[in-house]
Amino acid sequence: MIVIIVATMTLWIIHHNTSQYNDDNEHRSFPFCHQHPNPSFLLEHQALGYLKHHRRIDDVMIPSTVWQGGIHGVLYMAVRNEQLANVRETIRSLEDRFNHRYHYPWILLCPEGFSDSFISYTKHLASGPIYYGKVDLQAFITPPWVQHRVFLKKMTSWSNPKEHLDFTFHQLMRYQSGIFYHHPLFKSVDYIWKIDPGTSFSCNDMDDPFKTMQDNNKTYGFTVTQRQPQGDVSGKHIWKLTESFIKHHHHLSILPSNKTIMQSIMERYRGNDDSEDNDHGYSTCHFGSSIELMDMRFLKSAAYQYFFKYMDQTGAFFYEKFTDVAFRTLAIALFSNTADIQFLNEIGLEGNHHCPLDMDHSKKCACDYHGPDVFQPDSCTIQLLSQIDPNAIKNVTRFIRSRMDHP
C-alpha cells in the first residue's frame, strides 16, 4: 500500500452533495467526460477535468535523443520510498536479463517524492537513464464525489475486506488505470512496459518486446493472467456498470464482441453454467499486473479516456475491488481487436508466475514448471489465447503435453 504524507482531511474528502452509489448511477450525466476531446497533450490534473488549479511542473519530458532514433519505449514503476529493496531487485533483474543490451530509460513515479537515499541507491543500477517523477497529488487523492461512509458500507460486502481498507490502494489503482500516462515524463513516449515492484525475471536473451509491439502493430502485450474469486460480489457490480456503459454509449467505437476478447472474459466457469455466482457469464478473467506493455495511443484514445472517466465518476475504483489491470482488460474488450493483443510468452517471471510455454525459449530460463496455473483447466491464459492467437494455443498445448510426458 502506498503511504502518502498528506493531511488526513485531504485523503478522506467527502462530498455530501453527490448521489449515493446505487443503480441510479447508470443514468447519471458525466459532464467532465466532454471537457477535453483531445487528451493527448494534457497533464494529470488537466486530463481529469474537474481540477482547476494548475500545479508547478517540476518534471520535464524525456528528450528524444535518449532513444537515439530507436523506439520510444520506457520501463515504468509506480513506487514508494519504503519499496527500495523491491525496486532494486526489479531493476537489477531486468537489466541483467534484458535491458543491458537495449538501454531503455526507466520512469519511476512516487506520490510523496523520492528521498535522497532512494535515489542514491538506485541511480547507478540501470544501463540507461532513470527519471524520478513526483505524482501530481491533486490528481492522485480521492475525488470529491467519493464518500467515506459509502466506501465502508461497500467494503463489508467483500471477502477479506481488510486487504482493501486502505484508501491509498484504491487511489493507486485509479491513478494507474487512467491518469499516470499524463505525467509530463511520458509526453514523448510511445510504448510503456509497466512493471510491479518486486517482479523478477527468469529468462536470458529476451527479444525486444517494444520492437515486437511496434513491428506487429500491437496495442497491448501480456504474459500472465488472473481471475477474481468465483462469486465475488465486486466483480458482478463492475460488470453491471460496464453493461450500463455499453448500453448508453453507442456513439463510441465499441467493437462487436466476436472481434474482441469479450467472449473469452464472458465465458462461464466450467462446470457451473447454471451457477448464480456468475453475472451474465462474466468470468472476472483479466490480464496480470506483474507486467504490461501498452501503446500510448490506446491509453490516450478518446474511447479509453471516456470509459475511465465514466467508471471513475461512479466511484467504482473505491467502492469495488477494481484494479488497474481489471479496468484495462474491460477497456481492451470494448475497444481493441483480438489482433491488437500480443502474448509475450518469452518473458519468464520468477515465483511461478510465468514460464515460457515454448521449447526454444524454455532453454534460456531458470524456471519451475510445476507452479504456473496455465496448466489448470480453467486457466484464463488458455481462455484468452483461444481468441487472441489460436496458433499460439496449439503450440502451448503441445508444449504442456510434452512437459507432462517428461516432467
pLDDT digits (tens, 9 = 90+) for 227-236: 776 556 677 8
Can you spell out the DSSP letters for 271-321?
T-TT-TTSSTT---EEE-SSEEEEEHHHHTSHHHHHHHHHHHHTTHHHHS-
CB 8 within 8 A of CB 138: no
**What's the pLDDT at 404?**
62
CA distances from 216 to 90, 210, 318, 340 (A): 27, 10, 36, 8
Tell me the β-bridge partners of 74: 192
* Residue 215: CA count within 13 A, CB half-sphere: 7
Q: Cell numbers at residue 388, please?
A: 487472441
Cβ count within 10 A of residue 133 = 21
Task: Give the Cα separation of 47 and 404 in Å (integer).
Answer: 50
DSSP string, 42-71: --HHHHHSS--PPPP----PPPGGGGTTS-
Q: What is the pLDDT of residue 39?
A: 47
Burial 285-313 (b: 16+ CB within 10 A, else e): bbbbbbbbbbbbebbbbbbbbbbbbbbbb
pLDDT confidence band for 363 (50 / 70 / 90): confident
Asked if the model's pLDDT at residue 7 lies above 70, the reply is no
Mean pLDDT score, 136-141 = 91
State the pLDDT confidence band at 390, using cuts at 50, 70 and 90. Answer: confident
Of 232-241, 331-340, 366-375, where does mean pLDDT reach its minimum? 366-375
Q: How far apart are CA 298 and CA 304, in angstroms?
A: 7
* Helix pair angle (390-405, 380-388), 10° resolution: 140
CB 107 within 8 A of CB 75: yes
E strand intervals along 336-389: 341-343
Please check whether residue 381 is in contact with residue 392, taking contact to mean a CB–CB distance below 8 angstroms.
no
Calculate the CA dihedral of residues 198, 202, 205, 208 and round it to 10 degrees: -50
Model confidence pTM above 0.85: no
The residue with cell 481488510 is: 162
Greater confidence, 158 or 196?
A: 196
The Cα–Cα gap between 220 and 391 comes to 18
Domain boundary assignment for the chain:
8-14+44-405
Positive/negative CA dihedral, 120, 122, 126, 128: negative
Comparing CA positions, the residue from 299, 160, 154 lying closest to residue 241 is: 154
Q: CA 13, CA 309: separation in Å to the nearest integer? A: 19
**Interval 17-45: pLDDT, tens:** 333 344 334 333 333 333 334 445 577 77
CATH class of 8-14+44-405: alpha beta
| CB within 8 Å of 268: residues ≥ 6 apart | 275, 278, 281, 283
Enumerate residues 6+ apart whose C-beta is below 8 A from 36: 42, 46, 47, 49
Tallying the residues shown for the chain, one arrives at 407
Answer left, alpha or beta for residue 376, where phi above 0 means left and psi between -120 and 50 means alpha: beta
